[in-house]
Structure 1
Amino acid sequence: MTVTTTAPGALSQDEAAAFRQRCIEFLDEHATGIHLDGDPDPRAEKRLRAAQAFQQALADAGLAGITYPAEYGGAGLTKEHDKIWRECYAQYPFMTSELTISHGMCLPMLAEYGTEEQKQRYLADNIAARTVWCQMFSEPGAGSDVASLQSRAVLDGEEWILNGQKVWTTLAHLCDFGIVIARTDPDQPKHAGISMFIVDMRAPGVEIRPIHQVDGGLHFNEIFFTDVRIPAENLVGDLNNGWRLATAMLMYERVAIGGGGTDGVTHANADALILEAEKRGVLGDPALRNDLMDLYIQESVKSMNSLRTRAELKAGKTPGPAGSLGKLQGTLVSYLARDLSMRVVGADSIAWDEEGGHRWSTQAIRSMGSGIAGGTNEIQKNIIGDRVLGLPREPSVDKDVPFKDLRVGTQRD
């Protein structure tokens, strides 16, 4: 007789099977894809509302925020439950891409670094997508070098007064709250003297302007802060320790971008292009078949790297610099998929008759931004070289210079 034992606290086979079935039943009903009915949806309003509806149904079913404690609005389940959910979700249309920043970056930061009061106030609504969050780091003079930011927060009694500008903020026009970093002590070197705050996106003095993108989209924004008052209790973490928190949040961002929201080994780009090549009768081309197989392999390896990163997260570790590997590889996969799609689709990638034919050109154009969002490819290579491979760092001439003495942004003679 064979006796199956279960580690203490682990799910039994029956429990795992029952939870998997519960996930599948929910996904069968709710993960039906996001349908825009021909609407280009340039500001992503429809896509976000669909994502919120899905997430709220998930919360009602007790499946949202699986590993977050129940007292903060999560499901209070185990990492094993989370793995099963992600494996199931990988087989269905992804419904929550517009919540990637809110859930993949802001939520874990609040859970890890927020005060008890902040967790009680914000986590449950974030998990259920009753509120949506954005991240505000980049500025016109501080992109890849975010530490050169000039937005300034000055303490006035029990409030901070924020002035400055942010740019490339995704979905800011639809968000309720945002996490922002600003300079709070210009007498310290640029990587010091920065603090992180929670900002009400509808507060007086917050102005949001859309950025018109080459693909017709308008989901990026620039934001202007004019004497915006932030309650002192909205400081996240310690004063003047914002760069360490920003670095942690960027690590979460790279995992969110490079790892996606599902689990398992996936190769969606290769699968779609193989089907398209078969439909167009070009799958017999041996050179094309070889390149499609290369894309399939690259996507599979990317998934495996993401699984390793997620295993670290499940072990309770904050994402480390290895997250840059997944982010960089994701960019290279998008470039390869773009070039292959142009070969498979041919002239239809430029001019098309069928409804939805623009998808190939739109996908190609959007791939250009993948090498910028979450840090450029060059920044990822520097991080990998320095912090993963242990190679010598590039020289830094401004390391110990007070920020006010640097000639950056508008601080020029």
Structure 2
Amino acid sequence: MSQNAVESVESFRARARTWLSEHMPRLDDRTQPESPDPDDDSHEWKRARELQQLLYQGGFAGICFPREYGGLGLTEAHQKAFTEESDGYEMPLLLNVPSFAICGATLLDMGGEDQKRDRVGAAIRGEEVMCQLLSEPSGGSDLAGLITRAERDGDEWILNGAKTWSTSAYAADWGLCLARTNWDVPKHQGLTMFLVPLKTPGLTLNRVRMVNGSREFCEEFFDDVRLPASSVVGLVDDGWTVASRQLFHERNAVGGGSPYVSGSGNLRATPHPSPFEVARASGRAADPRVRELVGEYLALKTVHEQTVGRVSAAMAAETLPPAGSSLLRLLHAEYMHLMDDHAVRIAGAGIATGIGSEPGVTGWTATGFLMRQGVSLGGGSTEIARNIISERLLSMPREPAPDRGVPFNQVKRVSG
């Protein structure tokens, strides 16, 4: 087939089906190596890289990424077909978010040619993993108010500050880090995005234990970390443009609309049962009230899935602006909240006592509920998503912001 010809989706699907059956391991045959340390998941990341390398060798990696950076240059329909065919097989799901769907996608849009060729290409080949270094301990949802600073020193930049809640940073090789490079202009105008190697001198990384026991998130401390000028993504002092595109991809990924995600499901250690699964496991599937709750969940699940398709298609056709990704982000949070709430209502006392035919499921329901609020924060808070929808999609007045237009070094901030 000519390099310029686009293979039909059905031909691609058939070829993928055959290749998967001959080369990819099935989930039913998967064995998890035991580790003496329950917090050590290095084997999962090693396996994810191996699976990604296998996909690359077989010609099925980076399906929607351009050919010049190691991808296949195909359409979202090709990716969807491959994801459907890969159901039941092991896939490198850990690499989907944030490495491909957020970081790789952002570099594709905003990075230089060397950055796209080297970092995106290495990720597609399964050689490197990327993460985000955005949120800060003092910043909350005000990302533009960050205080991690980068100062120019000849041909280098010196980075100092702290980041937190960085998903999977402990397993990453590179991070997209937003820092302040100009304090004399309003907060959105003095930021720069950097590509930071995670194994660089002066960078200390700690894993953070969450309420459900997970240590997926990290905090980072930068003490005179030196970066070359080539680390800048986009333009100096124009980092908010890069960050805005990055947040678009994050909301798209969180909402389920990213074309760069390959495979379906989640490989994290803790399962997340749905109300349907809890109803069956708790022996309450015949209860009329439980059936109502399950029906409400299934209805919103269908609405969520169909909305993802409609909004993604509209943004791709540019009939809906990029701010439309906030619709997906908001609906995803509402859907997940309802799923967790209804699962707990159905499980009842079983979440504590383990009553039912499958006690593990009701126990997992309780663990999942502990992290319920996380979906209101990832990808920007739900409140920010509502603001974006109201202001940028519905043309409602902007809410007051006393620091708007004020040089950042004159903005009053809480110290300490």
Q: Which runs of 4+ in 1 moved over 4 A?
A: 8-14, 30-41, 89-95, 269-272, 312-319, 353-357
Tell me what 1:58 maps to: 55
Which residue, out of 295, 298, 301, partners 1:296? Answer: 298
Residues 58-82 of structure 1: CA distance to partner in whole angstroms, max 9, x if unpaired?
Answer: 1121111012233312123344422
The unaligned stretches of length 5 or more in structure 2 are: 265-270
Q: Does 1:363 align with 2:350?
A: no
- CA displacement at 1:152 relative to structure 2: 0.7
Partner of 1:76, secondary structure, is coil
Tell me what 1:335 maps to: 337
Tell me what 2:82 maps to: 85
CA contact (8 A) 1:270 1:292 kept: no
Which residue, out of 206, 228, 233, partners 1:231? Answer: 228
- CA displacement at 1:18 relative to structure 2: 2.4
The 2-side partners of 1:111 and 1:339 are apart by: 38
The unaligned stretches of length 5 or more in structure 1 are: 1-7
The residue type equivalent to 1:49 in the other structure is K
Alignment of 1:109-188 (within 5 A): 109-188=106-185
Tell me what 2:267 maps to: none
Q: Does 1:408 align with 2:413?
A: yes
Alignment of 1:389-400 (within 5 A): 389-400=394-405
Tell me what 1:15 maps to: 11
Tell me what 2:383 maps to: 378
The number of equivalent residue pairs is 400
Residues 140-179 of structure 1: CA distance to partner in whole angstroms, max 9, x if unpaired?
Answer: 1212111110111111111111111111111112211100
The 2-side partners of 1:347 and 1:65 are apart by: 45
Identity of aligned residues (%): 32
Residues 227-264 of structure 1: CA distance to partner in whole angstroms, max 9, x if unpaired?
Answer: 10011011000111101111110110011111064699
Tell me what 1:72 maps to: 69
CA contact (8 A) 1:23 1:88 kept: no
- CA displacement at 1:106 relative to structure 2: 0.4
Partner of 2:188, secondary structure, is coil
Q: Does 1:189 align with 2:191?
A: no
Q: Name the CA shift for 1:385/1:344 in 2 (closer, same or farther; >3 Å).
A: same
CA contact (8 A) 2:163 2:219 kept: yes
CA contact (8 A) 1:167 1:221 kept: yes
Tell me what 1:246 maps to: 243
Task: State TM-score, norm by structure 2.
Answer: 0.86
CA contact (8 A) 1:23 1:85 kept: no
Q: Name the CA shift for 1:13/1:176 in 2 (closer, same or farther; >3 Å).
A: closer
Residues 84-140 of structure 1: CA distance to partner in whole angstroms, max 9, x if unpaired?
Answer: 223434676775145410111100111111111112221111123321111011111
Task: State TM-score, norm by structure 1.
Answer: 0.87
Tell me what 1:387 maps to: 392
Q: Which moved more, 1:16-25 or 1:168-177?
A: 16-25
| Root-mean-square deviation (Å) | 3.1
- CA displacement at 1:190 relative to structure 2: 0.5
- CA displacement at 1:406 relative to structure 2: 0.7
- CA displacement at 1:355 relative to structure 2: 5.8
Tell me what 1:3 maps to: none
Q: Does 1:25 align with 2:13?
A: no
CA contact (8 A) 1:161 1:227 kept: yes
CA contact (8 A) 1:181 1:195 kept: yes
